[in-house]
Structure 1
Amino acid sequence: MSKYSLPLYQSIAKELIQEIESGTYRRGEFLPTEAKLCKKYHVSRVTVRQAIKILVDEGYVVKTQGSGTRVIFSQHLKILERSSKIIPFSKEMELIGKNSSSKIKTLELINSNKQLSKELELELHSPVFFYERILYGDDYPYCFEQGYMPVKYFPDFNLDVLLTSKMYYIETIRKIIVVYSHQIVQAILADDKLHKNLLVPLNSPLLDVTHITYNDHNRPIMKTSVIFDSNIYEANFIKYKS
């Protein structure tokens, strides 16, 4: 088992998840028994149970008394679930084994125009923090992000937030509960700015995913636009929240 760089139980969980998502184990079917998994991976029952717990916690299986471990994962349900949840970019990179980082291009205080005021339910000319940053995975530019953070919700928004975790700041520091986001997806062509920041050819096709994020009072709290090459990166991180 020396081939695993992760802890054994995490490596086993990862492999089982891949098999479930690929259809080796389909919804409604049962995973092999603990004894068979122990034999397959040459590990103890404790290790197998730790791996199964990850699958249970992530919604792939349920344990049924006297029957075993049943698969409840569905690609269709997963797509529906992704439409209402958000995961931070840093977590998305962690899940694929990459180190995340960001580079701030712009951070300034602006006044909301008519469109932004309507989208975020603000009074016209309300103060809003506007930023632009590049999101990296292992030093490769995955996304170009533009965001609007109203001062009424984020009075102490700053560079440190953008260089670390925006979601941590929102939920832990500002104590705002993020519930869902409304998304608009459009295809665009790379202009000179995107060409230089994302290292893509001029006029190459990109996706621009704009989303308005809502709190638990159903109020829009921020607007973010994420631009990326879908051949390199998927937009899962803007659909989940950890």
Structure 2
Amino acid sequence: MRGGVPMYQKIKRQLIEPIERGEWPVGHPLPSEAELSQQFQVSRTTIRQAIGDLVSMGYVTRQQGKGTFVSQARPHITATKLYGFAEELRQRGEEVQIQILFMRAFHFIDKSEIVLPWTLDGQTWELQRIAHIDGQPVFWETSYLRLPNDLSVASWEEDNTSFENVYGYFERCGVRIASGLQTIHAETAMEETAALLQVAIGSPLLVVERITQDDTGDPVEYSIVKYPAALYRYEVKLLRQEDNFSIS
């Protein structure tokens, strides 16, 4: 440790800078451990620790027998406006492909662990989707949709964009999406999730749960979305209100 900051963290920061500036694009190889060890005058153990952090953070990937390469840029989510999860990425210019796993009527008795924010007095449907960017899974979403009683599932399925943009479909049917309450927590990938997201069992996940409401305050969707943690950075802008300040 030098100057109070571990050397591997200083090296990690210096390696991140050319990636974030775009000097090292996706696929660019990092210098070898031997080269970095000589450049920074540290042991290979220190270099491995720095690179290991970069792998965990999603900046680089290791390819056995080939080296370490800059990975696909992490989607950067800024929590300011209410978008659908795929819609959020498209707003940032990402080319997102949606794979539909299924859509089916939801029966409470089938999944007693699910507590929906509405009573099952109308049509509730369960939709599962996986989103890909450049062939890589970036999230797995399970949504419970409270469809209007006058909307048939056949009409939903006939709309080619309904599975791509759920909010847009609701709004075309006269349901105005107004707000969402979102919570975020971490968990590790179990076998099914790991297989769907193509990560190792036990890998860290970012889990977002959201209740979406219409303009009358009624909930219309409850979603659980699981992201590989290494692929994401979540940003929230916080403002300090004037009444929090004291003048002395």
TM-score normalised to structure 1 length:
0.55
**Retained in 2: the 8 A contact 1:181–1:214?**
yes
Please report how far the alpha carbon of residue 92 of structure 1 lies from its aligned counterpart in structure 2 after TM superposition.
3.1
Question: What is the aligned partner in structure 2 of residue 198 from structure 1?
Answer: 197
Unaligned runs of 5+ in 2: 1-76, 236-248
Please report how far the alpha carbon of residue 182 of structure 1 lies from its aligned counterpart in structure 2 after TM superposition.
1.3
Please report how far the alpha carbon of residue 167 of structure 1 lies from its aligned counterpart in structure 2 after TM superposition.
1.9
Question: What is the aligned partner in structure 2 of residue 170 from structure 1?
Answer: 170
Q: Establish whether residue 94 from structure 1 lines up as the match of residue 93 from structure 2.
A: no
Q: Which amino acid aligns with 1:132?
A: Q
Please report how far the alpha carbon of residue 205 of structure 1 lies from its aligned counterpart in structure 2 after TM superposition.
1.1
Please report how far the alpha carbon of residue 107 of structure 1 lies from its aligned counterpart in structure 2 after TM superposition.
1.5
How do 1:1-242 residues align onto structure 2 when only pairs under 5 Å count?
82=80, 85-112=81-108, 119-123=116-120, 126-152=122-148, 155-156=152-153, 157-158=156-157, 160-161=160-161, 163-171=163-171, 173-234=172-233
Q: Which amino acid aligns with 1:193?
A: E
Q: Which secondary structure does the structure 2 equivalent of 1:227 belong to?
A: strand
Question: What is the aligned partner in structure 2 of residue 71 from structure 1?
Answer: none
**Retained in 2: the 8 A contact 1:145–1:224?**
yes
TM-score normalised to structure 2 length:
0.53
Q: Which secondary structure does the structure 1 equivalent of 2:193 belong to?
A: helix
Relative to structure 1, is the Cα distance of residues 101 and 211 closer, same or farther in structure 2, using a 3 angstrom cutoff? Answer: same
CA distance in 1, matches of 2:207, 2:142: 10
Q: For the pair shown, which has the larger CA radius of gyration, 1 or 2?
A: 2
**Retained in 2: the 8 A contact 1:161–1:169?**
yes
**Retained in 1: the 8 A contact 2:162–2:168?**
no
Question: What is the aligned partner in structure 2 of residue 44 from structure 1?
Answer: none
**Retained in 2: the 8 A contact 1:144–1:226?**
yes
Q: Which secondary structure does the structure 1 equivalent of 2:175 belong to?
A: coil
Relative to structure 1, is the Cα distance of residues 208 and 215 closer, same or farther in structure 2, using a 3 angstrom cutoff? Answer: same
**Retained in 1: the 8 A contact 2:162–2:169?**
no
Q: How many residues align?
A: 154
Q: Which secondary structure does the structure 1 equivalent of 2:230 belong to?
A: coil
Please report how far the alpha carbon of residue 161 of structure 1 lies from its aligned counterpart in structure 2 after TM superposition.
4.3
Q: Which secondary structure does the structure 2 equivalent of 1:93 belong to?
A: helix
Residue identity over aligned pairs, in percent, reads: 19
Relative to structure 1, is the Cα distance of residues 110 and 210 closer, same or farther in structure 2, using a 3 angstrom cutoff? Answer: same
**Retained in 2: the 8 A contact 1:112–1:128?**
no
Q: Which secondary structure does the structure 2 equivalent of 1:169 belong to?
A: helix
Q: Which amino acid aligns with 1:121?
A: W
Q: Deviations over 1:90-116 (max 9, x none)?
A: 443334432111111121112245776
Q: Which secondary structure does the structure 2 equivalent of 1:143 belong to?
A: strand
Q: Which moved further from structure 2: 186-195 or 141-150? A: 186-195
Please report how far the alpha carbon of residue 175 of structure 1 lies from its aligned counterpart in structure 2 after TM superposition.
1.9
Q: Which amino acid aligns with 2:167?
A: M
Relative to structure 1, is the Cα distance of residues 105 and 162 closer, same or farther in structure 2, using a 3 angstrom cutoff? Answer: farther
Indicate the structure with greater helix content. 1
**Retained in 1: the 8 A contact 2:131–2:137?**
yes
Question: What is the aligned partner in structure 2 of residue 15 from structure 1?
Answer: none
**Retained in 1: the 8 A contact 2:127–2:143?**
yes
CA distance in 2, matches of 1:184, 1:92: 16
